[in-house]
């Protein structure tokens, strides 16, 4: 990628997590050069570490914005900065409680019960900053609780790029806050044009500055720009890899709202590149080219000190995976630190073992010997071998939050007369649809024709993200994988579908009068109107309902529902599961 110019020096050397997601108390020593690869089975903590850094950086931004730079410095003793759950944008989670270990955000006598500590080296020595977090009702509070920062100490600028879901057909100009929010939701492709616009504008300004009063650039200046400017380097990579060149349609924020980026087919003719077909919109390019472009665009953004990449190689075949890694390694020599999570065995076989962190062990650490590399690669599928065996036979997977959900849906399918698939692979996990999709993609490489249905509780997630007719979750992009169906209950969780008054007192175990009183105590109209959904959508009913059922589990109650009492949402999902084996499902 040409002669290299150093951009940044702030390299993270250590991160410590206290009660963050899956880690109760864990420290990670990080390399401050090259590309660090995080590898291991699904749900082993690779993405969690990347997300922790993204949350830490977000906490720094929030405190800086609301309390000022002084609130991050050594010796400051003030209050934290608070924000609503809707303003939390660094990562995509259904509920803020999911940031905490075992979802317990409250601890006795410990208001700020979760903390992330980051250490890094700067020009003036080692620095550390601990950001602590507290959850009070629906408000998140962030506070710097341990810091040796002084005035003018530079804090690493971190960019987190989740798995790329594709490029939108239309992309509006976005503010920095909007861009962060889209990245946090895993929609890097939805703000890609915004970043390309910035890179192209910086290139034009640099050319204008170098040109001065002259009519054209001096050859020496042009050579320097082409060797070092991010926009030029990005286009060099696109030409050499995909025979394409990028063109940003002139944009003026005073008049335009939609950013347009086109690709120009190119063909090499000697030492020059010539046009080789009509210009087309970036949207029509393949997933591989879009993925490559997105990763490199963020890697080449000069304001970034630390780049966090979660499976950036997902849509690429082997040759391009290795070439992308080579390009990223080249970019790190400019001073950029890259931390990358991957499942690609091709990369793990080739990358230096000293730069591969193994998350398949109790305490993740960098490899030291080749035998550890072999154990890591061969062990990636061990945790999922029963799942893989069943998936190979049935060619369909059902993702649920709990095993009981699958048992309930199987009983409902039987009651409705649907044929439950034999040997269907069932994976119980509280991971979001996006994580389940990553596992599905990995399995799809080895199992042709694999189909999957992922069903999740909505919890406190936005109802607007759920299609009321199909239960399709609009928050996850699955266009590239049409055989992966992401579904989310309209009601808070599957147990809420047990709220059928007539069914509760039908067998005489519980009197109608008791049910009526329980109903009215909650402010619900009696008799029950089955067409009214709103009152049942967000109530947390599991424990009170179990009390009303006098010890009978909600699972057994749901499994025993008669056809007339089964909600249409339950029937819809049960039918979709049973149709997974159909050729056109």
Q: Show the tokens assigned to 119.
A: 């250490």
Q: Is the pLDDT of residue 43 over 90?
A: no
Q: Show the tokens assigned to 502.
A: 């007539």
Count up the domains in the chain and report the number. Answer: 3
Let me know if residue 165 belongs to a domain: no
How far is residue 384's CA from residue 382's CA, in Å, rounded to a whole number?
A: 5
From the list 489, 405, 388, 394, the residue with the least C-alpha distance to 442 is: 388
Give percent of the chain above pLDDT 90. 49
Q: What's the Rg (C-alpha) of the chain?
A: 26
Predicted confidence (pLDDT) per residue in 311-322, tens digit: 888 778 888 889
Tell me what pLDDT residue 460 has: 80
H helices then E strands: how many in the chain?
A: 18, 20
How far is residue 391's CA from residue 394's CA, in Å, rounded to a whole number?
A: 5
Most confident range (mean pLDDT) of 31-35, 36-40, 43-47 is 36-40
Q: Show the tokens assigned to 37.
A: 């690869």
- 22 in the same domain as 87: yes
pLDDT band at 459 (very low <50, low <70, confident <90, very high): confident
Question: Which residue segment(s) compose the domain that 93 sits in?
Answer: 11-32+45-156
Say which residue the tokens 């994580």 belong to.
435
Tell me what pLDDT residue 231 has: 95
- The SS3 call for residue 210 is helix
How far is residue 371's CA from residue 327's CA, in Å, rounded to a whole number?
A: 27
Domain stop point among 156, 171, 188 = 156
Report the b/e string of 414-439 with b at 16+ CB within 10 A.
ebeebebbeebbbbebebbbbbbbbb
- 330 in the same domain as 424: no
Whether the bond into 527 is cis, omega within 30 of 0: yes
- 106 in the same domain as 152: yes
Q: Which of 67-76, 404-413, 440-449 shows the lowest per-residue confidence on average (mean pLDDT)? A: 440-449
* H runs (alpha helix) in 140-285: 176-184, 192-211, 219-228, 230-242
Q: Are strands 396-400 and 425-428 parallel, antiparallel or unpaired?
A: parallel
Average pLDDT, the chain: 88
DSSP assignment letter at 235: H
- 20 in the same domain as 108: yes
DSSP H or E stretch at residue 57: helix 46-67
Tell me what pLDDT residue 10 has: 72
- 539 in the same domain as 424: yes
Q: Is the pLDDT of residue 381 over 70?
A: no
Predicted confidence (pLDDT) per residue in 540-577, tens digit: 887 888 888 887 889 999 999 999 999 999 999 999 99
Tell me what pLDDT residue 85 has: 86
Give the CATH number, domain containing residue 185: 3.40.50
How far is residue 159's CA from residue 340's CA, in Å, rounded to a whole number?
A: 12
Let me know if residue 372 belongs to a domain: no
Q: Is the pLDDT of residue 44 over 50?
A: yes
How far is residue 280's CA from residue 411's CA, in Å, rounded to a whole number?
A: 51
Tell me what pLDDT residue 186 has: 60
Tell me what pLDDT residue 2 has: 41
Let me know if residue 6 belongs to a domain: no
Predicted confidence (pLDDT) per residue in 223-281, tens digit: 999 988 999 999 999 999 999 999 999 999 888 999 999 999 999 988 889 999 999 99
Q: Give the chain's end-to-end CA distance (angstroms, integer).
A: 46
Kindly report the backbone phi and psi dihedral angles of residue 210, in degrees, each rounded to the nearest multiple of 5, phi listed first.
-70, -35
- 202 in the same domain as 142: no
From the list 494, 473, 501, 514, the residue with the least C-alpha distance to 554 is: 494
Let me know if residue 371 belongs to a domain: no
Predicted confidence (pLDDT) per residue in 73-103, tens digit: 999 988 889 999 888 888 888 889 999 998 8
- 290 in the same domain as 193: yes
Let me know if residue 151 belongs to a domain: yes
Q: Is the pLDDT of residue 160 over 50?
A: yes
- 184 in the same domain as 141: no
- 540 in the same domain as 426: yes
How far is residue 489's CA from residue 268's CA, in Å, rounded to a whole number?
A: 53
Mean pLDDT of all residues in 174-187: 75
Tell me what pLDDT residue 405 has: 95
Domain stop point among 104, 121, 156 = 156
- 333 in the same domain as 288: yes
Instruction: Compute how many other C-beta atoms are within 10 angstroms of the C-beta atom of residue 535.
Output: 14
Mean pLDDT of all residues in 469-480: 91
Tell me what pLDDT residue 318 has: 82
- 201 in the same domain as 128: no
Let me know if residue 201 belongs to a domain: yes
- The SS3 call for residue 552 is coil
How far is residue 47's CA from residue 57's CA, in Å, rounded to a whole number?
A: 15
CA dihedral of residues 465, 496, 555, 405 (deg, nearest 10): 0
* H runs (alpha helix) in 250-384: 287-299, 318-332, 345-350, 370-379
Q: Is the pLDDT of residue 585 over 70?
A: no
Strand partners, 62: none
Say which residue the tokens 């009983």 belong to.
411
From the list 496, 519, 515, 495, the residue with the least C-alpha distance to 505 is: 515
Tell me what pLDDT residue 414 has: 96
Domain stop point among 311, 343, 375 = 343
Let me know if residue 294 belongs to a domain: yes
Let me know if residue 322 belongs to a domain: yes
- 111 in the same domain as 75: yes
Q: Which of 352-356, 413-417, 526-530 shows the lowest per-residue confidence on average (mean pLDDT)? A: 526-530
Predicted confidence (pLDDT) per residue in 421-443, tens digit: 888 999 988 888 988 898 888 77
């Amino acid at each position: 990628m040409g002669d290299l110019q150093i951009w940044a020096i702030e390299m993270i050397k250590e991160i410590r997590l206290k009660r963050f997601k899956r880690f109760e108390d864990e420290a990670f020593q990080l390399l401050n050069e090259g590309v660090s690869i995080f590898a291991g089975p699904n749900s082993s903590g690779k993405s969690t570490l990347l997300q922790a850094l993204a949350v830490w950086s977000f906490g720094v931004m929030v405190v800086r914005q609301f309390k000022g730079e002084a609130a991050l410095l050594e010796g400051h003793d003030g209050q934290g900065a608070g924000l609503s759950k809707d303003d939390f944008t660094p990562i995509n989670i259904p509920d803020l409680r999911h940031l905490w270990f075992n979802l317990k955000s409250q601890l006795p006598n410990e208001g700020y019960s979760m903390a992330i500590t980051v250490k890094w080296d700067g020009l003036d020595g080692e620095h550390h900053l601990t950001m602590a977090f507290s959850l009070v009702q629906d408000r998140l509070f962030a506070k710097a609780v341990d810091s040796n920062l002084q005035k003018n100490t530079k804090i690493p600028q971190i960019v987190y790029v989740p798995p790329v879901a594709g490029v939108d057909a239309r992309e509006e100009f976005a503010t920095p806050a909007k861009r962060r929010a889209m990245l946090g939701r895993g929609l890097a492709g939805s703000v890609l044009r915004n970043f390309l616009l910035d890179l192209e504008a910086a290139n034009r300004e640099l050319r204008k500055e170098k040109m001065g009063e002259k009519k054209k650039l001096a050859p020496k200046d042009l050579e320097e720009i082409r060797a070092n400017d991010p926009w030029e380097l990005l286009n060099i990579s696109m030409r050499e890899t995909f025979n394409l060149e990028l063109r940003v349609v002139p944009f003026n924020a005073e008049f335009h709202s939609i950013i347009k980026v086109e690709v120009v087919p190119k063909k090499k003719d000697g030492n020059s590149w010539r046009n080789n077909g009509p210009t087309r919109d970036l949207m029509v390019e393949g997933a591989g080219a879009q993925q490559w472009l997105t990763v490199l665009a963020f890697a080449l953004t000069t304001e970034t000190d630390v780049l966090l990449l979660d499976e950036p190689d997902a849509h690429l075949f082997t040759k391009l995976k290795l070439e992308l890694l080579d390009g990223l390694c080249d970019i790190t020599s400019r001073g950029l630190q890259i931390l990358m999570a991957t499942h690609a065995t091709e990369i793990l076989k080739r990358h230096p073992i000293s730069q591969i962190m193994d998350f398949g062990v109790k305490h993740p650490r960098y490899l030291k010997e080749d035998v550890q590399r072999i154990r890591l690669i061969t062990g990636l599928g061990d945790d999922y071998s029963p799942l893989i065996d069943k998936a190979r036979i049935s060619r369909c997977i059902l993702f649920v939050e709990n095993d009981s959900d699958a048992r309930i849906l199987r009983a409902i399918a039987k009651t409705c007369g649907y044929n439950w698939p034999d040997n269907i692979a069932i994976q119980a996990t509280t991971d979001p649809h996006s994580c389940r999709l990553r596992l599905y993609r990995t399995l799809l490489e080895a199992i042709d024709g694999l189909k999957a249905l992922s069903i999740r509780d909505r919890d406190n997630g936005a109802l607007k993200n759920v299609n009321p007719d199909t239960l399709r979750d609009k928050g996850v992009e699955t266009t590239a994988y049409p055989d992966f169906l992401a579904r989310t209950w309209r009601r808070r969780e599957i147990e809420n579908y047990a709220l059928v008054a007539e069914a509760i007192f039908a067998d005489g175990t519980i009197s109608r009068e008791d049910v009526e009183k329980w109903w009215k105590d909650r402010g619900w109209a009696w008799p029950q109107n089955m067409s009214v959904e709103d009152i049942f959508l967000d109530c947390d009913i599991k424990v009170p309902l179990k009390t009303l059922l006098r010890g009978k589990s909600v699972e057994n109650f749901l499994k025993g529902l008669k056809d007339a009492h089964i909600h249409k949402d339950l029937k819809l999902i049960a039918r979709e599961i049973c149709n997974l084996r159909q050729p056109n499902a």
